[in-house]
Chains A and B, each alone.
Chain A
Amino acid sequence: MIGLEVLYAIAGTMFAVIAALSAFDHGNAKRWKNAAFWGLFAACFLFGSHLPDLANGGIVIAMVLVAGFGGLGQGKADTTSIEQRRESAAVHRNRLFLCALIIPAVALAGTMIFKTLTFGGLHPVDPKQATLVSLVLGIILSLAVAMPMLRARPAEPLQEGRRLFDQVGWALLLPQMLAALGAVFAAAGVGEAVGALTTAWLPDGSRLAAVVTYTLGMALFTMIMGNAFAAFPVMTAGVGLPLIVLKFGGDPAIMCAIGMLSGFCGTLMTPMAANFNLVPAALLELKDKNGVIKAQVPTALILLFANTVLMYVLLFVFRF
């Protein structure tokens, strides 16, 4: 069965090659740091499942130390000039889009097919990982179509990939790091502490105060954790269920649905939500790392206000 382990092996191999290419890049003054960073990431993908937890922790800390102090370097990109790209675009025209769109198209079709596909009662693809497997399949198919069409040399996708990896740099690691931080927070009981604190602060008696505390709390705690999923159980167990549902008799489904969306408003406003805010800023080569956040803040604030109003109105109209 094709599942996560196969994908990890593919990713590990790719990062190992990126590490090797970085080591040979004499145009990068920090080439050994880059090589060490990607090499450690490759090791985590290739051997992570078989290593003891402490060793995996050691790998992460080594990566953080390599990238955290002094930072990674930018490689000298062996790529085409703008003029060459314009000429190539004029030659290949919309076939370029076709190659790009193969990726989401296969990801989509595969997700639907692999969830139900069985041979003699066995799933060839782990149905829980259908989307990720299909995404990787889409990437491979896209390369399989594009490389002969463009007459690309085999090293080209890897060199171009390294160019983009250098551009994104350490930000690439942050989402996975934050997921791990969430696990430490959960184990140490941060959720319970926040719940106790908010309940202690909350003036009792007012429905409006309870709703506002819940929606604002979701947004603020999401901003700190970088993830609405981490804030949701904390705020809902601490404020939502005891006050809005049990004390005031609000509908739990409406509360949860709009509460989570209030958390998403927080996601739009925080650098901690690295994969939505910092990584695109790096990918789009923005000078201001917080440029994406700044573009989002007006929408996020209006929606947070709207969510609070919607929750207050709907909760007590449609109570169960």
Chain B
Amino acid sequence: MLTLLGIAVVVVGFVARINPLLVVIAAALVTGLAGGMGPLEVVALFGKAFKENRYVSLLWLVLPAIGLLERYGLQERAKALIGDLKAATTGRILLLYFAIRQITSALGLTSLGGHPQMVRPLVAPMAEAAAETHGHTDDETRQKVRAMSAATDNIGLFFGEDIFIAIGSILLMVGFLQQNGIVVEPLHLSVWAIPTAIVALIVHGIRLVLFDRKLKRGAAK
């Protein structure tokens, strides 16, 4: 039970707003020591796992390419394109992106979206431009539109990807059940992700429509 102290460290660290990197290292040390490891053993184990998970950070190689395109006006072009379309509202743009993100994720095309390569350079500027076209130039609205753009990418990804049979979480479930003597086909797991995916499409879709209404009311004031 002592090993649960690490979880307490994480919770307290976040509540106290200590730098998360320090919180994670402290939680690892506390957990390892409580689990009967020596301090150097914990550092070595952490180092090994950190090294083995380097692939998680490879996505960052995209930043120089995105940064270069931003330097030459990628975001401004995205904004100009939307600014010309009166029918393009923030909610409709995000709804379109949400549906595309969810469907492509369900087909296993999870790398078609993402925050560094799609949301920052294209989706958020377009959503912002639509808000500006309809008279919202205040910073508070801009912040809300950006946050909603990031949220839309996450929700579309999470509740789409599990419909695809070869995604990591499905493989994890198949492997876990197999270890426990239950044989399940990946397809049998992925079909049961469909009901939640439909609910997600409806719920977040409605929220995006309401987001538009809220923006409209804000403009009328």
Contacts and interface: CB of A to CB of B under 8 A. Distances in A.
A155 to B, nearest CB: 10
A129 to B, nearest CB: 8
B40 interface: yes
Given A156-B71, A174-B24, A283-B115, A258 B19 contact: no
B124 interface: yes
Contacts of A58: 43, 47
A311 to B, nearest CB: 9
Given A132-B55, A170-B21, A188-B34, A284 B72 contact: no
A187 interface: yes
Contacts of A302: 203
Interface in A106-153: 107-108, 111, 129, 131-132, 135-136, 139, 142-143, 146-147, 150, 152
Contact of B14 (A89, A272, A296): A272
B47 A279 contact: no
Given A86-B76, A229-B168, A229-B172, A292 B151 contact: yes
Nearest to B77: A89
Contacts of A57: 43-48, 50
B50 A44 contact: yes
Contacts of B34: 188
Interface string B58-74: 11111111111111111
Interface string A5-38: 0011011001000000000000000000000000
Interface in A272-320: 272, 274-281, 283-288, 291-292, 294-296, 298-299, 302-303, 306-307, 310, 314
A136 B118 CA distance: 16
Contacts of B78: 97
A112 B131 CA distance: 38
A272 B15 CA distance: 12
A152 B68 contact: yes
Contact of B117 (A68, A103, A177, A276): A103
Nearest to A241: B180
B31 interface: yes
B10 interface: yes
Interface string B181-221: 01010001111110110011001100100000000000000
A131 to B, nearest CB: 6
Contacts, number: 411
A55 interface: yes
Contacts of A44: 50-51, 54
B44 A100 contact: no
B24 A181 contact: yes
A220 B13 CA distance: 17
Given A173-B21, A276-B154, A295 B71 contact: no
Contacts of A129: 55
A104 B69 contact: no
Which residue among A180, A194, A288, A307 has the maximum number of chain B CB atoms within 10 Å of its CB?
Answer: A180
B28 A292 contact: no
Interface string B139-154: 0000110111111011
A92 interface: yes
A206 interface: no
Contacts of A181: 24, 27-28, 31, 46
Contacts of A188: 3, 6, 31-32, 34-37
B143 to A, nearest CB: 6
Interface in B9-30: 10-11, 14, 19-22, 24-25, 27-28
Interface string A258-273: 1011001001100110
A85 B177 contact: no
Given A104-B113, A159-B67, 18 more contacts: A44-B54, A56-B50, A61-B43, A79-B70, A79-B71, A84-B73, A96-B72, A96-B77, A99-B65, A100-B74, A175-B56, A181-B31, A188-B35, A193-B4, A224-B7, A232-B176, A253-B188, A271-B14
27 contacts: A11-B60, A44-B54, A49-B51, A51-B51, A56-B47, A64-B21, A69-B19, A82-B76, A86-B76, A94-B81, A97-B122, A139-B61, A142-B65, A143-B65, A160-B68, A177-B50, A181-B31, A183-B49, A187-B45, A229-B168, A241-B180, A257-B173, A260-B173, A264-B159, A285-B146, A303-B203, A306-B203
Interface of B: 1, 3-4, 6-7, 10-11, 14, 19-22, 24-25, 27-28, 31-32, 34-37, 40, 42-78, 80-81, 109, 111-113, 115-122, 124, 143-144, 146-151, 153-155, 158-159, 162, 168-169, 172-173, 176-177, 180, 182, 184, 188-193, 195-196, 199-200, 203-204, 207
